[in-house]
Amino acid sequence: MHELYQEEHANNQPKQVKLKYYRDVFNTEFNLSFHKPKKDVCNVCFSYNNSSEQEQLEKQDEYDNHHSRKTRVRQLKAEYKALAKDDKSIRAVTFDLA
Amino acid at 37: P
**Amino acid 13: pLDDT:** 63
Residues 7 and 31 in one domain: yes
Domain of 25? 1-35
What is this structure's pTM? Answer: 0.53
| Neighbouring C-alpha atoms within 13 Å toward the C-beta of 6 | 8
Residues 1 and 31 in one domain: yes
DSSP for 22-47 reads HHHHHHHHS-------S----HHHHH
* Residue pLDDT, tens place only, 44-96: 998 999 999 999 999 999 999 999 999 999 999 999 999 999 998 988 888 77
Residues 58 and 30 in one domain: no
Considering its fold, how many domains does the chain have in total? 2
**Amino acid 41: pLDDT:** 83
Residues 76 and 56 in one domain: yes
Q: Is 25 among the domain residues?
A: yes
* Residue pLDDT, tens place only, 1-56: 888 878 887 777 667 788 888 888 888 888 877 777 677 788 899 899 999 999 99
Residues 25 and 54 in one domain: no
**Amino acid 98: pLDDT:** 56
